[in-house]
Amino acid sequence: MTAPLLSARGLKIAFGGVKAADGIDLDIAPGEFVAIIGPNGAGKTTFINMTTGYLRPHSGHIHFDGAEITGRPPRSIVRRGIARSFQIPQLFTEHTVIENVALKVAAHGRFWRPFRPLLDAGTAAAAMRLLEQFGLAGVATARATELNEGTRKLTDIAMAMALRPRLLLMDEPTSGVASAEKFGIMDTLVAALRAERVTAVFVEHDMEVVERYADRVAVWSQGKILASGPPAAVLSDPAVLREVIGVETGHAHA
Amino acid sequence: MTLLLFLAILDGLAYAAQVFMVAVGLTLIFGVLRILNVAHGSFFAIGGYVAATLGTWAAATAAAPVLALPVLLLAAVMVGGVLGPAIERLVLARIYTKEHVLQLLVTFALFMILEDVQKLVWGVQPIFQDGPVRALGQVEVGDIIYTAYQLYLLPGVALATLFGLMWFLRRTLTGRVIVAVTEDREAATAMGIDANRVYLLTFTVGTVLAALGGALASPTTSLVPGVGVNMIVLSFAVVATAGLGQIEGAMLTALLIGLGRSVAVYFAPEFEVVIPYIIMVAVLLIRPHGLFGRPELRRV
Amino acid sequence: MDRRLTLPTLAAATTVVALAIAAPWLKFVFTVALAKGLAVLGILLLLRAGQVSFGHALYIAVGAYTVAFLRPAIGEVLLLLPLAATAGTIVGFAVGLFVARYRDIFFGMLNLAFSMVFYSLLEKLYAYTKGTDGIRVPRPTIGGVTLDPVAYEWAVLVGTLALALTLGWLVSRFLASPLGQALPAIKTRETRLEFAGISAKRVLLVAYVASAALAGLGGGIIACTTLHVTPLLSYWTHSGELVFIAILGGAGSVLGPFLGAAVYELVRVYAAAAFPDAWQMILGAVLLVIILFAARGLWGMYEDLVLRKDRRA
């Protein structure tokens, strides 16, 4: 096996006595598309927050591409090539969709040029290319506040992709999206990740989505990785079913 | 040298007491309303002017020495009781949901208005009264003859205010309600607490305290235009050094800044005005949220 | 630049020159108005980020005193003004490193505190500043030529107008750049910038230093126009005036600051003399009314009128 792109060892963090992570070991190989599942409040989002520098683990280490990133500030981690999207999309509400994406394109490249327009030819083209890839070209000039939830989610992910990450962490890419739309969103997303060769991890509650798209599933329960492997195997494991799915299927279809 | 230092300390304590009266209201109002009232220093100034006017009137009556002190309190209650509710209901109530920058601009506009109200009513010549100081006489502290007013009354009122507020907020029902609103406005409102009444009460109390600070200062300093602006920046320095919303902390930093300033008055008068800000900047460089402040949790 | 602005800009510039020809005393008023407009342009940058400084008169005073202090050694406007802007930039950077860590209340009040400290130093360090008497600035040369008073006033007015046009254009470019477009993110939720790998503090610092440079230049022009500087230049009332003009003109366009400044100065010439003790009060009351009822200022009203006309046509 090749060296992992992301490697977490012995991560521990607790919030007021609740152990969100209690010795997490997790490796992500280049090119993988990994789903993290688990009960609500289990600490899945905490993993994203620790990996992107928003929370510092109380102990343990995170390596990205061989270099230690534990406790580094979010900005420096973004610069190293880890981007994230959010359960609640973080769009610039004052701007249009293309400006949102262009800001991130510029942030990755030529941000500090004070007298060059945001939407200059190069940046606009790069932003438009991403919008097309995510099927968002039609809403390019819509204001971020006018979009439906599915479109907001895709915009948020397109913005993360504009940072040209090598690893993308997504927090529930299909939550809050009408169930008729969710496979469409995931198809678009997976195609874009493949095309750009981006390794990705996503936290997900919807087992249909996990089963259909993930290369591998990691089950997060009570601060530990309970199981990890191909979806078919993991999702039929009785311990996983009892611990996670029993609670989760009800939630996912609620 | 030692004598001067001792004198500086006595002056510093009296000065800290005055500043605390203004700062504590500023920080209390911020804690509850989440608005920093730029016009707060003007309440101090107007409280001083009204006290001086009433005091001059009282001094002409037969009961002069007896009235000298009650008149200070009366002035504070009058100023706070009128300006506080009027400003809170007519102006602030309209902006609680607006952007921070607009809230700041609105209280700044109030500040501009109140500064000129002082000039229109009391003119630009210095105004001074000494009735309250004479009423209490002088005391000997070692080799120094000092006024009882500055030695006992000012620090006494400040301490009484501090302990009174702490008792009020911790032990009384109304106080608990205010604290509840401070900690979680939405939850408190959901429990049936009338947040508007809490705002009105808090703002009025803060206004009365600032006006009382001004009334207490009227026998020890001359009132001139600009008193209000100096006091708002100084009391902001006190509450920022302590951490916004920290009441006990404000007492400590008022002492720190009051003493620092009065030592400067005796030993490096050019830097009198600079010292409080040097203290503030030094503290903020090391602790960006003040000595006792906590950073607000970052929501992701 | 937004093409819709070209016509109003040219019209405004022509009006300024035409009025100054018709009424010579207006040269002085317009020069000061444009100089303040430059400082307000900086306030506008900060407002875009949702921040308001109650202390920017500090940088006006820094620029003005730079001219006053250097005038004995340097007698040339074309050197003095860049030096004034440079002094504003340097002080702005030093103060900005500190205040750019703060937002909202702290940002506004720390700026006020710095300006009041500077004010009291100007007042108290008599040996250097001559205290409240201030420093007289002998009329400098322009381009090496000693001009008579009228020609000098014309030259400064036209030069300031050119600077206002150039810098207004540059600021509008800046606002359209990624940096300028990132400013509103500081107003709502700046963590979104951090997600993109951008330091919000550094973005605000750039805007802050630019605003200090603009105010420094404005202060330099004011010193070259009034030919006398006093500590009052840095007093809070003048900081308040800049904020007032910004809100009056409206933060929606780079023309707002100059429109606001011109209206403000014209009204002030008459009103401040008629109500010397109530001037701040009038300003405060108008400021309240604008914020509560016409938040987009004069420029916003102009836009509404023009837009309505367009729709009707």
Residue A35, min C-alpha distance to chain B (Å)? 21
Amino acid in the structure at residue A201: V
**How much of chain C, in percent, has pLDDT values that exceed 90?**
67
Q: Where are the domains of chain C?
A: 3-234
The pLDDT of residue B57 is: 87
CB atoms within 10 A of CB C178: 28
Chain A positions touching C198 (Cβ under 8 A) are 75, 107, 111
List the domains of chain B with CATH numbers. Answer: 2-286 (1.10.3470)
The answer to whether the Cβ–Cβ distance between C173 and A78 falls below 8 Å is no
Residue of chain A whose Cα is closest to the Cα of B299: A54
Residue A180, min C-alpha distance to chain B (Å)? 28
List all chains that touch chain A, counting a touch as 3 or more CB pairs closer than 8 Å: B, C
Q: Which of B127-136, B239-248, C128-137, C178-187 has the lowest mean pLDDT?
A: B127-136
**Beta-bridge partner residues of A167:** A82, A199
First to last CA, chain C: 25
Q: What is the C-alpha to C-alpha distance for residues B151 and B143, in angstroms, rounded to an integer?
A: 14
Q: What is the C-alpha to C-alpha distance for residues B83 and C73, in angstroms, rounded to an integer?
A: 53
Chain B positions touching A49 (Cβ under 8 A) are 300
Average pLDDT of chain C is 91
Question: Quick check: B107 and B37 in contact, CB under 8 A?
Answer: yes
Identify the band that residue C223 occupies on the pLDDT scale cut at 50, 70 and 90: very high
List all chains that touch chain B, counting a touch as 3 or more CB pairs closer than 8 Å: A, C
Q: What is the mean pLDDT of residues B185-190?
A: 80
Give the ipTM. 0.85
pTM score of the predicted model: 0.90
Interface-testing mutation among B99, B297, B299, B300, with chain A (most A C-beta atoms within 10 A):
B300
* Entry field: residues in chain C: 313
Residue C311, min C-alpha distance to chain B (Å)? 31
Q: What is the C-alpha to C-alpha distance for residues A190 and A200, in angstroms, rounded to an integer?
A: 9
Tell whether C187 lies on the interface with B, counting CB pairs under 8 A.
Answer: yes
Tell whether C125 lies on the interface with A, counting CB pairs under 8 A.
Answer: no
The pLDDT of residue B12 is: 93
CA dihedral B110, B113, B117, B123 (to 10 degrees): 130
List the domains of chain A with CATH numbers. Answer: 6-81+165-252 (3.40.50.300), 92-160 (no CATH)
Q: What is the C-alpha to C-alpha distance for residues C304 and C302, in angstroms, rounded to an integer?
A: 5
For tokens 């802007």, what's the residue? C85
Chain C positions touching A90 (Cβ under 8 A) are 189, 191-192, 195
Tell whether C304 lies on the interface with A, counting CB pairs under 8 A.
Answer: no
Q: What is the mean pLDDT of residues A100-107?
A: 91
Q: Are strands A59-64 and A67-68 parallel, antiparallel or unpaired?
A: antiparallel
The pLDDT of residue C309 is: 56
Of B105, B229, B240, which is closest to C106 when you measure between CB atoms? B240
The pLDDT of residue C293 is: 83
The pLDDT of residue B296 is: 56
Chain B positions touching C281 (Cβ under 8 A) are 112-113, 115-117, 120
Of B108, B116, B230, which is closest to C277 when you measure between CB atoms? B116
Q: Considering only residues 240 to 299 of chain B, which have any Cβ-Cβ distance to chain A shorter than 8 Å?
A: 298
Residue A238 has pLDDT above 90, yes or no: no
Chain C positions touching B102 (Cβ under 8 A) are 291, 295
Average pLDDT of chain A is 88
Question: Quick check: C252 and C300 in contact, CB under 8 A?
Answer: yes
pLDDT digits (tens, 9 = 90+) for C7-63: 889 999 999 999 999 999 999 999 999 999 999 999 999 999 999 999 999 999 999
Q: Considering only residues 223 to 252 of chain C, which have any Cβ-Cβ distance to chain B shorter than 8 Å?
A: 236-237, 240, 243, 247
Residue of chain B whose Cα is closest to the Cα of C95: B281
Buried b (16+ CB within 10 A) or exposed e, C88-127: bbbbbeebbeebbbbbbbbbbbbbbbbbbbbbbbbbbeee
Q: What is the mean pLDDT of residues A112-121?
A: 88
Q: What is the mean pLDDT of residues B44-71?
A: 87
